[in-house]
Amino acid sequence: MTTIRTLTIKYALLQSLYWMVFCSIYGFSSLFLLSRNFENQDIGLILAFSNILSVILQPALGTVVDRFEKLTLKWSLIILSVLSICLMVPLLFSTVVPAVEALLFIAVVSLVLSMQPFINSFIFETINSGLKINFGLTRGAGSLAFALTSYTLGLLLVHFSTTILLIACIVLLIAFLALVFTFPETPISEVPSTLDLKIDKPLTKEKDLFFKRYPRFLYFLIGAACLFLFHTIVNSYLVQIIHSLGGNDKDFGLSLMITALCELPAMLGFSYLLTKRKSGIWLKVAAIFFVVRSILFLLSGSVFMINVTQLFQGLAFALYIPASTYYVNQLMQKTDHVKGQAFNIGAITLGNVAGSLVGGWLLDNTGVPQMLSAGAIAAIIGCLLIFYSVRTDI
């Protein structure tokens, strides 16, 4: 029992350190890049390329892990962390050529994003060995750490330059590395096949029937992409929204903290929600609150109203993520589970990329109100598609 408790604490700390790193480099990405004289449109391109590269890296790295038996998940995390630190060091110096700076930032963010599935798989190695680690608790600790980090960094940025973000990231990654080294070595053969990250084989005629078996699933994916187009706009360009209303970096950090804290109840309590209603119902509820949140963002005339609007994150994004995962799993035949989840993640990533590009272009060529209007339109379209495509009996 002590072993399980100790391991749960260690995994919670591992998740916490990762999400603190994620907050420092990704949550404050717009603020950092603005300080290095990048335009909003450039920031959109950088974040879009970071997401695309991470999608390519994740299955590619998984394939490498599969081919080399001695390369365990533990050592994969160590290598990714060391590479991230090495790439961050040149970024500490603002004298780096802007194009090189952009490439370094894309590489760092894509590596940090790519660490996420490896951390989840690392934890599930232990769960599948028979130890009942509370994964929801460890992930909840990550969200709490993200919230506290965002508020702390917001306070620090009032007094220090954005270089403090990189320093914090490097220090946190070193702590993350030190913690990873304390875990015992686990043979890669013990990683369950359900967590296999291999690149899928080319589509066959049989696989081409996938969307015929689930006739409305494509509309669900398009709806998800639209919802996350809005979600990415307000998350990636929150600092610009806050500044347009007279707020400062401290206000930005506080707003991020509120957002992260609001995610905890739905994510930790989703198993209970499933005992009351089916996952399809919760998906539709989440879609409605994406729209509510988008309209409130558009109508907000003060930083206080933005923070009130952020409270609805707990009924939108935080509800959507577990609901969509359960829904796809229950909708599909066992042989289509992995494929369905891959499409689900792909749709969200597509929304992230589109939101980064559209948001950056609109900020540079029009302004914050126009950007938020586009986000609201996307959220409404996404909600309608979710209502059309999602079944409520599963």
Same fold, 1-186 and 208-394: yes
Q: What is the pLDDT of residue 50?
A: 93
Domain extents in the chain: 1-186, 208-394
Fold of 1-186: Growth Hormone; Chain: A; (1.20.1250)
With contact defined as beta carbons under 8 Å apart, do 342 and 200 qualify? yes
pLDDT in tens, 85-97: 999 999 998 777 8
Which CATH code fits 208-394?
A: 1.20.1250.20
pLDDT reported for residue 200? 42
pLDDT at 66: 62
Q: Is the pLDDT of residue 101 over 80?
A: yes
Each residue of 176-228: pLDDT tens digit? 999 999 987 754 444 333 333 333 444 444 445 888 889 899 999 999 999 99
Where residue 19 falls among pLDDT bands split at 50, 70, 90? very high
Asked whether the predicted pLDDT for residue 63 surpasses 90, the reply is no
State the average pLDDT over residues 65-83: 82
Q: What does the pLDDT average to over 290-307?
A: 97
311 or 118: which leads in pLDDT: 311
Quick one: what percent of the chain has pLDDT higher than 90?
A: 60
